[in-house]
Amino acid sequence: MTTGSPWFRPTNDPQNEPPNHPTNTPAPEPIPAAPYAPTDPYAPVDPYAPADAYAPAADPYAPAAEPYAPAAEPYASAEPYTYEAPPAAPYEAAAQESPYAPPYDPYETEEPPGPSPSETMALQAVELPSGPGRAERRRAAKGGRGRNRGGAGPETPTTTPPQGRPLSRVEARQAARAAKDSVGVVASRAVGELFITFGVVMLLFVTYQLWWTNVLAGQETDQAKEQIEDTWAKGDSKPDAFEPGEGFAIMYIPKLDVVVPVAEGINKTKVLDKGMVGHYAEGKLKTAMPSDKQGNFAVAGHRNTHGEPFRYINRLEPGDPIVVETQDAYYTYEMASILPQTAPSNISVIDPVPKGSGFTEPGRFITLTTCTPEFTSTYRMIVWGRLVEERPRSKGKPKALVG
């Protein structure tokens, strides 16, 4: 019987156990596994190696492991691994070394390379002369004088002399010749300036014709109207006796808001271009006066420019009033008919009984003539009217003007 056995000792005091008994032997401290030591899956395993007698036996009733559980990471460790990049300086230095140098050891400690001379010294730019040399200038001068023996054209230096150096005589001549415009450029420039000048002149002429002539004609008609009224006030005028260009009546067309003096004759410069209406009173074109007991009082006026008093007479309709004021009376006519277009040579439209007017018997008529189409003088437009009232000025204005 073994006296050291715990089954035959008088007490359970562990101090009485043998020193080498398994229960009295302290458990060995576990060796921490290397966090980065990889496990070799191909390491040899000894099948006859003795098992640990004190290792706990597997529990036969323990639940089976999850078949789909992920395998444990062989390199997992309790502490997270932090990657530290190696210093960049040794690699940069190795990249600048000779390709025949031994490979760089990242774990070898070496001193960082010192600054190179190029890093500590300031860079100095060396300026080379960009202009031609003396020999090139001589060759250029010979080529410019027609001494080129090779048959090719003279070589013109394409580089400019450096700043600060004055041009040579040859270079100055070449620069002046290059800056001088060719004949084609000068000619095209002259033609362009000529066209521009012509366009400006035409624009000024159109502005003068369409706008400024109306302004001047308005001033002329105002003065002529005042002069006629002053003459009537003085009583110096004589009916049926007027000089060419002399104003003797005032015409009103209320629908068109026209108030224009009537002068003797149809002279373009003295009468029509001054914005007035001219009375046909010369030679074969002589017509009656408003005061005549029978006849056709025919007048002419501009349709465009120079006051354009008859510009819109095509808008008149039968029954519209046309009033002529003289020193003694107001003569009221009613528009009767219109001839939109006829030849300038058709003078029958101003006959005592005008043809085409619709009048068949003698009477007291008025005829207005003007150019058509607008801004041309190709044809003539004719408007006729019949006298409906003769009212003395002493009785006041007629109803056509008062209304």
Confirm whether 358 is domain-assigned.
Answer: yes
> Residue 304 belongs to what domain range?
217-402
Confirm whether 137 is domain-assigned.
Answer: no
Confirm whether 98 is domain-assigned.
Answer: no
Confirm whether 10 is domain-assigned.
Answer: no
Name the pTM for this structure.
0.56
What residues have CB less than 8 Å from 90, skipping those under 6 apart? Answer: 104, 106, 110
* Burial letters 268-302, b for 16+ CB under 10 A, else e: eebbbbbbbbbbbbeeeeebbbbbeeebbbbbbbb
The predicted structure's pLDDT at residue 63: 57
Where do we find the tokens 């040859």?
A: 170
Confirm whether 124 is domain-assigned.
Answer: no
The Cα 143–Cα 386 span in angstroms is 94
Give the torsion through C-alpha atoms of 160, 161, 162, 163, to 10 deg.
-90
Nearest residue to 330 (alpha-carbon basis) of 397, 257, 268: 397
The predicted structure's pLDDT at residue 177: 76
CB contact at 8 A, 283 and 314:
no
Confirm whether 171 is domain-assigned.
Answer: no
Confirm whether 32 is domain-assigned.
Answer: no
Per DSSP, what are the bridge partners of residue 379?
372
Tell me how many domains the chain contains: 1
Where do we find the tokens 């190795």?
A: 94
Residues classed as catalytic: 302, 371, 380
The Cα 13–Cα 144 span in angstroms is 130
Segments of the chain scoring below 50 in pLDDT: 1-8, 13-15, 17, 19, 21-23, 34, 37, 69, 74, 76-78, 89-98, 117-123, 146-158
The predicted structure's pLDDT at residue 269: 93
The predicted structure's pLDDT at residue 135: 72
CB contact at 8 A, 250 and 324:
yes
What residues have CB less than 8 Å from 339, skipping those under 6 apart? Answer: 349, 356, 357, 381, 382, 383, 384
Taking phi over 0 as left and psi of -120 to 50 as alpha, with beta for the rest, 123 belongs to beta
Whichever domain contains 368, its CATH number is 2.40.260.10
Confirm whether 375 is domain-assigned.
Answer: yes
